[in-house]
A and B are shown apart, each in its own frame.
Chain A
Amino acid sequence: MTDQHHLEAPAPSARASALGAIVAGRRPLKLVERNAMAYRRSWYVFVAGFFEPVLYLLSIGIGVGALVGDLPGPGGQPIGYEVFVAPGLLAAAAMNGAIFDTTFNFFVKYKYAHTYDAVLATPLSVHDVALGEVIWALLRGAAYSAAFLVAMVVLGLVQSPWAVLALPVAVLIGFAFAGAGLAATTWMRSFIDFDYVMLAMVPMFLFSATFFPLDRYPTAIGWLVRATPLYQGVALERALVLGGVSWGLLVHVAYLAALGAGGVWIATRRLGRLLQP
């Protein structure tokens, strides 16, 4: 072997590439670990996120619910307003958790703190960064959704055994919005642009059949609402928690999975260009 051959990468043996795949598979988790450590000093910011959806449930669900009375449930039987609104708030909480980590927090790390410049100086790739941030957002969203589900059970707002799937579906909703949020953030120029994020989130939170049923809208607007990603999540969660499960729900699952996967794919491609010019 001559000297110049030392500069060339050795042909990977089958065993080495299998090992490489395992190591590569774990690399995004290093970023998750990094984020968890970064929160150790400000854990109360993390904990504070548990309360907001529960407070909305108590105020709008139970407080205003006392003024609303009963609504027709999935089988036509009357259900209390708080029973109706709780799965909607669960879906909205999953959206909020995922969006904040993949937009505001991601932007600060990418643009101001230059965290990823340091991360990319290690064996981690741009793909690991995108995947790691999404996994982190999902873990955080899952923790919030699980806590909210416990509150729902304690308040007696769960009516169907299908509710065991409510947590995985909340993680799926989180995945959809984490992917979309990450992709959108790669187009952000400054904090002013985050007004657009709020401009999408606040109307979705308020009008995705979260607080009142779809049949309150005129038909045309009803179809507009059906097209929003949060409505897909609300419809799924409501069917699981109240009963009324059908194969048609898989359409919502496919929509959310496609949004999340598409978002991660776009974000990885664009981040590659932004972080490694």
Chain B
Amino acid sequence: MPAGEVVRVVEREAQVFRRLWRGSVFSSVLTPVLFLGAIGIGLGGLVDEASSDVAGLSYLVFVTPGLLAAGAMQSAAGESLWPVMAGHKWMRTYHAMVASPIRALDVYVGELAWTAVRTTIGAVAFLAVAAALGGVPSWWGLLAVPAAVLCACAFAAPLSAFAATQQTDVSFSVIMRLGIVPLFLFSGTFFPVTQLPAGLQPLAVASPLWHGVELCRMATTGTLSGARAVGHVAVLVAVVAAATWWGVRTFRRRLAE
């Protein structure tokens, strides 16, 4: 794959972002920080006073990596549905791209790479605030940034592939409300999945977000164990790879229309 074309797509998105970044600060940095303040510190104070430490951690330390991974997932999901519809149908920017030497494959991979760049910025900003508030006890926490970015890509890759198959955006808000919100609330973000009813635990463990949260939590608490970390990374990489295979096909089909 000639990487030059992919870089051009990323460059184009970066140019747009340079003018519009203010709006995304709220959704990708400020919202997770507000959740950290309300749930991590406010509600966490009640949890800590009830002296039930969560998996041996203070509640703030427990919830920080959860919010990091979940925030990356949420912003990646939002950026992979409506903007992809805009690229194909509403503004047809992707059609303009493929009228140049850029191919459908470059568009898809380039957009995915841009999601990775954007989530990196958001994750670094969130982690810095969380560390200042005492939510990141270990320097290994720096590794939570690539973990969150990988988790974001595991959602951006299949969702943008799916968005390219749609003619209207009605299904998107249903995906957000009935897919992304339940994952946000039940993937070990706010409480350990072992608290879920036994029948639901395998479901939570199947979600890419749970693997992302576990990876981030190992990193921020400095409890990385080789075998388990490799397992989580392998699951997330497999999701990205399979979704990329699908996405290249849906983008090709859509842009050949």
Contact surface of A with B, Cβ cutoff 8 Å: 42, 44-45, 48-49, 51-52, 55-56, 58-60, 63-64, 66-69, 71, 81, 192, 195, 198-199, 202-203, 206-207, 211-212, 216
Contact = CB atoms under 8 A, between A and B. Distances in A.
A55 B181 contact: yes
A260 B93 CA distance: 42
A109 B22 CA distance: 25
A68 B53 CA distance: 10
Interface string B12-30: 0000000010110011001
A68 B173 CA distance: 32
Contact of A60 (B34, B39, B52, B177): B39
Contacts of B231: none
Interface of A is mostly: helix
29 contacts: A44-B174, A45-B170, A48-B173, A48-B174, A48-B178, A55-B182, A55-B186, A58-B185, A59-B185, A60-B185, A63-B186, A64-B43, A64-B190, A66-B191, A66-B195, A67-B52, A68-B47, A71-B46, A192-B20, A192-B23, A195-B23, A199-B30, A206-B39, A206-B42, A207-B37, A207-B42, A212-B38, A212-B46, A216-B46
B50 interface: yes
B39 A211 contact: yes
Nearest to B50: A69
A45 B54 CA distance: 36
Given A55-B182, A211-B43, A198 B26 contact: yes
A49 B181 CA distance: 11
Contacts of B31: 198, 202
B210 interface: no
Contacts of A49: 177
Given A48-B173, A67-B47, A207-B42, A59 B34 contact: no
Contacts, number: 94
A46 to B, nearest CB: 10
Given A55-B181, A55-B185, A202-B31, A42 B170 contact: yes
Contacts of A56: 185
A68 B185 contact: no
A63 B34 CA distance: 20
B23 A63 contact: no
B87 interface: no
Given A48-B178, A67-B191, A203 B59 contact: no
B195 to A, nearest CB: 6
A14 B50 CA distance: 70
Interface string B104-118: 000000000000000
B140 interface: no
B50 A212 contact: no
Given A67-B50, A216-B45, A59 B186 contact: yes
A212 B45 contact: yes
A67 B177 contact: no
Given A59-B186, A64-B191, A206 B50 contact: no
B181 to A, nearest CB: 6
